[in-house]
Amino acid sequence: MTEETGVGVAVSRTAVIDLLGALAYGELSAFDRLAEDARTAPTLDGRAALAAMAAAEMGHFRLLEEHLAGLDAPVADAMLPFVPVLDEYHRLTAPHNWLESLVKAYVGDGLAADFYREVAGILPEPTSSLVRQVLADTGHSAFAEREVAAAIAHSRQTRDRLALWGRRLLGEAITQAQHAVAERDELAEFFVRGFGDLAGISVLFKKLQSRHGKRMGALGLS
Asked whether residue 4 carries a pLDDT value surpassing 50, the answer given is no
Whether pTM exceeds 0.95: no
Task: Specify the DSSP class assigned to residue 124.
Answer: P
Q: pLDDT grade, residue 197 (50/70/90)?
A: low
| Contact of 53 with 40, CB cutoff 8 Å | no
pLDDT at 121: 83
Which of the four pLDDT bands, split at 50, 70 and 90, describes residue 63? very high
Q: In 71-121, where does DSSP find H-type helix?
A: 75-79, 83-92, 98-103, 109-120
Listed in order, strand segments (DSSP E) in the chain are 2-4, 10-12
Q: What is the residue-wise DSSP string for 176-189?
A: HHHHHHHT-HHHHH
Residue 66's pLDDT is what?
95
Domain-wise residue ranges, the chain:
2-218
Percent over 70 (pLDDT), the chain: 91
Give the CATH class of 2-218. mainly alpha
Judge whether residue 219 has pLDDT over 80.
Answer: yes
- pLDDT of res. 3: 52
Alpha carbon distance 215, 107 (integer Å): 7
pLDDT tens sequence across 171-184: 888 888 888 877 78
pLDDT at 77 over 90: yes
Using CA atoms, how far residue 84 sits from 2, 66, 88, 135, 147, in Å, is: 27, 23, 6, 22, 32
How far apart (Å, rounded) are the C-alpha atoms in residues 18 and 62? 16
